[in-house]
Amino acid sequence: MTAYSHSKLSTYENCPQQYKLRYIDGIEVPEAGEGIEAFLGLRVHEVLEKLHKELILSRLNSLEDILSYYRTQWERNWHGNVLILREGFTKNDYWKAGEEAIAGYYRRYHPFNQSKTLATEHPITFDLEGYTIRGYIDRLSHDGRGGYEIHDYKTSGWLPTQDQVDRDRQLGLYHMGITEKFGDVRAVRLVWHYLLFDKEFVSERTEAQLKDLKAQVVSLIRTIERDSTFEPKESKLCDWCEYPEYCPAKMHEAEVGKLPPNKYLKEKGVTLVNQYAALSARIKELKETQIELEAERETIAEAAVAYAEQRGLTKIAGSDFYLKVAEQMVLEFPRAGEDGREALENYLKETGGWEKVSILNAKKVSKAIDDGLFDQKTVKTLRKFGEEVSKTSVRLVKKHDEEE
């Protein structure tokens, strides 16, 4: 049976295609390098794990011991593929940030007697409506009276809001797992340590909130298991994806991006897009010209009417054509959004005239079915009028617009 985790669920939410490539197809790609932020996070986690793991055996490391261990782990694990992408920052800048974060944490909680640590990097597995949920708790502690704490260490350079942590799914799931595992759970506190800011966030979940979270997760898992297409979801996260050469939305760009300029412009796909774009631009120009010409023609028409009225004419002669000028009574109705429009529509519906003047929008019928706007009996009848078909469309999009 497939097991799910917060990370796995988040991958699907960010991009179903990435989920498929990673967890279903199991595609492994060469390591492109480790970001300095991830490297820093691992080193800080190792230090705090050592600190609290040894506290279980009543050994309290000094701040000097902990910082010495941090330096050792940093130097032991440093390698040439650690990437520093932020301009102007160095390896030493990140190292110092980690040292200050550890020192701040140590001073804030020393002598670490707020609660008793039960485990660090604690694996948690539990059942949720027949689905297996897995994860790792950075640190699990308790107060001996049924009060449990789930601690999570963060070394990210941004702070969440209280509302965001109150809606956090990961620790909410861990709350469920701990409640299932231990029989004496009276209360659970979820604690986030944003170490670079020396900031702590605490959240507690009600039974109603846990019930809602459970329903959301089960619904998401069922959506994943029903999915047969795993459509790519393009966003700024694509820049960090390891599968551009496998993704149907990115593979062509990745492929032609490696070509020299002379071959790039001759590649069939590039040629087709460029031709399509050129024709679309030409059509746009012609439409703009049409609008201008129609406005100019309307101006001439107004001048012709004035000329005919002044001369008492019903027909004006030109070189090859005539302009006939006739006055007639035309019945106009209020347009959408104008006063009286709603009353007009209601009257037509009441008298049975609506069907004679309205136009059926097939797309709206299909969308209404998808949105659950019809009952099952109506949907069953409507489906008899339609046919499920596969349709492919093309749409021209500028690259800059796509990234936004």
Q: What is the pLDDT of residues 35-74, one digit of tens each?
A: 999 999 999 999 999 999 999 999 999 999 999 999 999 9
Confidence of residue 380 (pLDDT cuts 50, 70, 90): confident
pTM as predicted: 0.78
Contacts for 272 with CB less than 8 Å, ≥ 6 apart: none
pLDDT-based confidence at residue 371 (cuts at 50, 70, 90): confident
- pLDDT for 207: 95
Burial class (CB in 10 A: 0-12, 13-18, 19+), 1: exposed
Higher pLDDT, 64 or 363: 64
Q: Which of 83-87, 165-169, 211-215, 341-345 is least confident?
A: 341-345
pLDDT digits (tens, 9 = 90+) for 238-272: 988 999 999 999 999 999 999 999 999 999 999 99
pLDDT digits (tens, 9 = 90+) for 71-113: 999 999 999 899 998 899 999 999 999 999 999 999 999 999 9
Please compute the mean of the pLDDT values over residues 122-145 and round it to a whole number: 96
Choose the weakest-confidence range: 130-134, 220-224, 300-304, 366-370. 366-370
For 157, residues 6+ apart whose C-beta sits below 8 A from its C-beta are 37, 196
CA 254 and chain centroid, separation: 22
Whether residue 401 has pLDDT greater than 60: no
The band of 341, judged by pLDDT with boundaries at 50, 70 and 90, is confident
Residue 402 pLDDT exceeds 60 = no
What is the model's pLDDT at position 235?
Answer: 94
What confidence tier does 115 reach under pLDDT thresholds 50, 70, 90?
Answer: very high
Mean pLDDT along residues 116-142: 96
- Tokens for 255, please give them: 């492929």
List the structure tokens of 315: 């027909």
Domains in the chain: boundaries: 31-113
In the structure, how many helices (H) and strands (E) does the chain have? 16, 10
Residue of 203, 186, 199 lying closest to 143 (CA atoms): 186
Band of residue 166 on the pLDDT scale cut at 50, 70, 90? very high
For position 365, what pLDDT does the model report? 65
Give yes or no for a cis peptide into 160 (omega within 30° of 0): no
Percentage, residues of the chain above pLDDT 90: 73
Categorize the per-residue pLDDT at 151 as very low, low, confident or very high, splitting at 50, 70 and 90.
Answer: very high
Q: 23 and 17 in contact (C-beta within 8 Å)?
A: no
Does pLDDT of 355 surpass 80? no
High-pLDDT (> 70) share of the chain, %: 91
- What is the average pLDDT score of the chain? 90
Longest distance between any two alpha carbons in the chain, whole Å? 110
